[in-house]
Structure 1
Amino acid sequence: MKDIYKTIAFPSEEILFKEKNSKFFGYAFPVTTEDEIKNHLEILRKKHFGAVHCCYAFQLGTDKIQFRANDDGEPSNTAGMPIYGQIQSFGLTNILVVVVRFFGGIKLGVGGLIAAYRTSAQMALENAEIIEKTIDIHYAISFDYKNMNKVMRVIKEKNIEIISQKMEMSCEIEIATRKKNAEMVFDIFSNLFEVEIKLKE
């Protein structure tokens, strides 16, 4: 079972690619939600106020893949798809790549545009630190305080990450475990007396 994916550690440094007086600024951002994507795009549009096109592509998710490629006024499939092609060729997800273009007065033609957007996206990704992350499954475990020790023993033995905990008379702990271990972890807690485990949405 595949439970690792590749993304980037931090937003990349801005890169600049020039072609026949046109300037292409490339960026890559690690993202997990569409709200984050909107936010990055708004900031870049304000930063490059005079730019003609702010083209981008993103991919989110590990099981259910969600992606979009946007040409932002460039001829169809000359900007967004070449950018998305680079995301795929680097094998990345949970990522947004944006290329902002300032028109230099000379038309590049369809082939020229595709090459320029592809190169700019490639440069942005080469400039980013690519990392591997595990696909984690989150569970909520509920139990009475008196059962704390046996729950904590499993968490320690199995090296399970605690995301959050609420310790009162009735306790709740949110844990994260690698996808490949998820079933085993679920079974262990399911078999513990007076302990309830459920998948966290």
Structure 2
Amino acid sequence: MLSRYKTLYKSGCKEIEIKRSKFIGYARQINSEKDAIKFIEEIRSKHRQATHNVYAYVFGERDEIQRYSDDGEPSGTGGIPVLNVIKMEGLKNTAVVVTRYFGGILLGAGGLARAYGKSAKAAIDDAVIVEKILFRKISIIIEYTLLGIVQNDLIKNEYFIKSIDYTDKVKINVYIEEGKKDYFIEHIKNLTKANLILKEDNNLYLYKKGEKYLE
């Protein structure tokens, strides 16, 4: 399980026109190769009358699955340019389909490759590139007398405080990057002189765009 990688936050769709041909790019994060195939079939079904539905996708921790199709366009002018855009953006687990409605003007091999690459990039930008980071949810249970020192430390060190529950004790729920978990636990124990209860929850992925975290 990768600790962090770049992928897409949501589904993207963008339409461009080049010399009367209409190119509609679709981009989506995928969770398996089966997911990619289903996505491609959805777009094909939606655009049954299209001249071409070119696609490419990348999946796996080491990008071990890479597939593409020119769908009838001259060899190397559709699928490879789309795949190259995915790889140049450094994206993992990503599928892109570009639908083309021919407008009557031939673009030539170079023109086709540029058009498909441009459409793929537009769809990816619309889907929003993010970092997907593996976190662990940790609950810190302390007495009220320790709330100020712990909360200030979390804020100062820019830890992601998910929520704070106030009952007979204070329960601070934080998301910690999996790779920093052991250091964090040791740090909090030292800060509170071990006067706390720590509870670890399951791993989960969060998205990061710039300095902002997204669930």
Give the AA of the match of 1:128: A
| Secondary structure, counterpart of 1:127 in structure 2 | helix
- Measured in 1, the distance between the counterparts of 2:65 and 2:45 equals 26
Which residue in the other structure is 1:126 paired with? Answer: 125
TM-score between both structures, scaled by the size of structure 1: 0.65
Give the deviation of 1:180 after TM superposition: 4.3
Whether the 8 Å CA contact 1:5–1:135 is kept in 2: the answer is no
- Measured in 2, the distance between the counterparts of 1:67 and 1:30 equals 14
* Correspondence list, 1:44-63, <5 A: 44-63=43-62
Which residue in the other structure is 1:163 paired with? Answer: none
- Measured in 1, the distance between the counterparts of 2:39 and 2:96 equals 10
* CA pair 182-61 structure 1, distance change in 2 beyond 3 A: farther
1:113-153 CA-partner distances (Å, limit 9, x unpaired):
001001101111111222211358xxxxxxxxxxxxxxxxx
Whether the 8 Å CA contact 2:55–2:98 is kept in 1: the answer is yes
Give the deviation of 1:63 after TM superposition: 3.2
- Measured in 2, the distance between the counterparts of 1:128 and 1:156 equals 33
- Measured in 2, the distance between the counterparts of 1:3 and 1:63 equals 13
State the Cα RMSD in Å: 2.7
- Measured in 2, the distance between the counterparts of 1:54 and 1:36 equals 17
Which residue in the other structure is 1:106 paired with? Answer: 105
1:91-116 CA-partner distances (Å, limit 9, x unpaired):
11111011001111111110110010
Which residue in the other structure is 1:115 paired with? Answer: 114
Q: Percent identity?
A: 39
Residue ranges of structure 2 left out of the alignment (5+ in a row): 141-175, 184-215
Which residue in the other structure is 1:96 paired with? Answer: 95
Q: How many corresponding residue pairs?
A: 148
1:144-168 CA-partner distances (Å, limit 9, x unpaired):
xxxxxxxxxxx757xxxxxxxxxxx
| Secondary structure, counterpart of 1:126 in structure 2 | helix
- Measured in 2, the distance between the counterparts of 1:183 and 1:78 equals 49
| Secondary structure, counterpart of 2:57 in structure 1 | strand
Residue ranges of structure 1 left out of the alignment (5+ in a row): 137-154, 158-176, 185-201
Give the AA of the match of 1:76: S
Whether the 8 Å CA contact 1:57–1:98 is kept in 2: the answer is yes
Whether the 8 Å CA contact 2:70–2:76 is kept in 1: the answer is yes
| Pairing 1:74–2:73 present | yes
Which residue in the other structure is 2:31 paired with? Answer: 32
1:2-34 CA-partner distances (Å, limit 9, x unpaired):
73101011111x211111111100010110112
- Measured in 2, the distance between the counterparts of 1:42 and 1:64 equals 22
- Measured in 1, the distance between the counterparts of 2:30 and 2:52 equals 21
* CA pair 50-8 structure 1, distance change in 2 beyond 3 A: same
- Measured in 2, the distance between the counterparts of 1:106 and 1:132 equals 40
Structure 1 consecutive aligned stretches of length 4 or more whose deviation exceeds 2 Å:
177-184
